[in-house]
Homo-oligomer: A and B are copies of this chain.
Amino acid sequence: MKLTIREIASLAGVSTTTVSHILNDKGQRFSEEIREKVLKIVEEHNYSPNYFASNIIKNKSRLIGVIVPDITEVFASTLINLIRKPLNEEGYNLMTCESSSSLEEELALLERYRQLSAEAILMFTSSKLSEKITNNRYHGIPVVFIDAGINDNYYGKIFFNEYDTAVRAINWLIKKGHSHIGLITANDKQHAFPERADAYYDALAANGLSLNKQYVVKTEFTIEKGYEGTQKLLQQEKLTAIFCCDDNLALGCYQAIYDAGKVVNQDIDIIGFDGVEILKHIRPKVKTLHLPFGDFGDLIATKIITAIAEPLKKQPDTYFNMIFNEGEE
């Protein structure tokens, strides 16, 4: 059904060598006339070289594998969205598969991508994989992690300078008059964002507010846990604001406040963390620290391209500032 290079060559009255050279922009061995003739025939018959045949020789798949716990996860899909364009422009295709956060599935997907000869893998994970992937290479394939610092990172860590911005956010709450502020943070098994909680502790101290242990909930970063954590915090009658170390928590917090018959941003102020899309859609809007998603995406795309070109090259760490807008958003 599909034409082969041989047929195109015979149609054009040249050798397969010439057709291949023209298609791959190799050298100037053919006249412009021939070039155009061949290209015209290719066009007419809608010919495209067999992807597998050329890859077996070029040993390049142009494929970048993405592993993500769940494709409906906003943080990940936002980032995938951002890196796709620059990578497409470099001639790479993204392929996304889901791991359901299962280590077994993650390993199976790595293996599948290896079989597909992926040139790089972008891995969203909360598993410790450094043992399987030393120096960020899985059987030679560069693996770029998005994992909040869980794995060693040969290709450079990314820091968001969360602390300073988070301090600013807490200070904003305090200036607004809040003195009983709750915190929902990680139980430290899944995630490790100590700066976020530290900002809370330090900002309270710097403003002469004492730390109330009843105001602190440690849990996992899900909407449900945010909901439950907030229910607990709401038992503290004086509490008037909650700082959530993640937007999923913030969303659950928002729901719990509403369901408890209170009004968000009126009875209880919320501040979230990451700046995912959904927080813009809910009402009242929930304030959040924003990741600089655009720059973050560009960096990841560049990291991947660099890692493909030079898998053995260490890449530097990068620092970004988080964004927090004190005024109305």
CB within 8 Å of B: which residues of A? Answer: 1-2, 46, 48-53, 55-56, 61, 70-72, 74, 77-78, 80-81, 84, 93-98, 111-112, 114-117, 139-140, 223, 251, 254-255, 258-259, 277-278, 281-284
The verdict on A281 contacting B51 (CB below 8 Å), with A95-B96, A112-B93 known, is no
Q: Decide if A98 touches B115 in the complex (CB within 8 Å).
A: no
Q: Decide if A52 touches B117 in the complex (CB within 8 Å).
A: yes
For A140, what are the chain B residues with a Cβ–Cβ distance below 8 Å? 1
Tell me the nearest residue of chain B to A252, going by C-beta: B281
Interchain residue pairs A-B with the least CB separation, the first 4: A258-B283, A52-B52, A95-B95, A52-B56
Tell me the nearest residue of chain B to A116, going by C-beta: B51
Q: Decide if B74 touches A117 in the complex (CB within 8 Å).
A: no
Tell me the nearest residue of chain B to A114, going by C-beta: B48
For A46, what are the chain B residues with a Cβ–Cβ distance below 8 Å? 139
The verdict on A281 contacting B282 (CB below 8 Å), with A72-B74, A72-B81, A117-B51 known, is yes
Q: Would you give 27 A-B contacts (Cβ < 8 Å), ordered by A?
A: A2-B139, A46-B139, A48-B111, A48-B114, A48-B115, A50-B56, A51-B117, A52-B53, A53-B56, A56-B56, A70-B81, A71-B77, A71-B80, A71-B81, A71-B96, A72-B78, A72-B81, A93-B112, A93-B116, A94-B96, A95-B95, A96-B96, A251-B281, A258-B283, A258-B284, A278-B281, A282-B282
Q: Decide if A255 touches B281 in the complex (CB within 8 Å).
A: yes
Q: How far is the CA of A282 from the CA of B114 in the complex (A)?
A: 41
Interface centre among A78, A111, A115 (most CB of B within 10 A): A115
Q: Looking at the complex, which one of B223, B259, B277 makes contact with A283 (CB distance below 8 Å)?
A: B259
For A284, what are the chain B residues with a Cβ–Cβ distance below 8 Å? 258
Q: How far is the CA of A98 from the CA of B251 in the complex (A)?
A: 27
Q: Decide if B93 touches A95 in the complex (CB within 8 Å).
A: yes
Q: How far is the CA of A18 from the CA of B93 in the complex (A)?
A: 35
Tell me the nearest residue of chain B to A283, going by C-beta: B258
Q: How far is the CA of A116 from the CA of B63 in the complex (A)?
A: 10
For A94, what are the chain B residues with a Cβ–Cβ distance below 8 Å? 95-97
Q: Decide if B223 touches A72 in the complex (CB within 8 Å).
A: no
Q: How far is the CA of A84 from the CA of B51 in the complex (A)?
A: 24
Q: How far is the CA of A48 from the CA of B113 in the complex (A)?
A: 11
Tell me the nearest residue of chain B to A95, going by C-beta: B95
Tell me the nearest residue of chain B to A70, going by C-beta: B81
Q: How far is the CB of A113 from chain B (nearest CB, A)?
A: 9
Q: How far is the CB of A224 from chain B (nearest CB, A)?
A: 11
For A251, what are the chain B residues with a Cβ–Cβ distance below 8 Å? 281
Q: How far is the CB of A164 from chain B (nearest CB, A)?
A: 29
Q: What would 16 more interface pairs be, CB under 8 Å, given A52-B61, A278-B278?
A: A49-B115, A50-B56, A51-B52, A51-B116, A52-B52, A52-B56, A71-B81, A72-B78, A72-B81, A77-B77, A81-B98, A94-B96, A96-B96, A255-B281, A258-B283, A258-B284
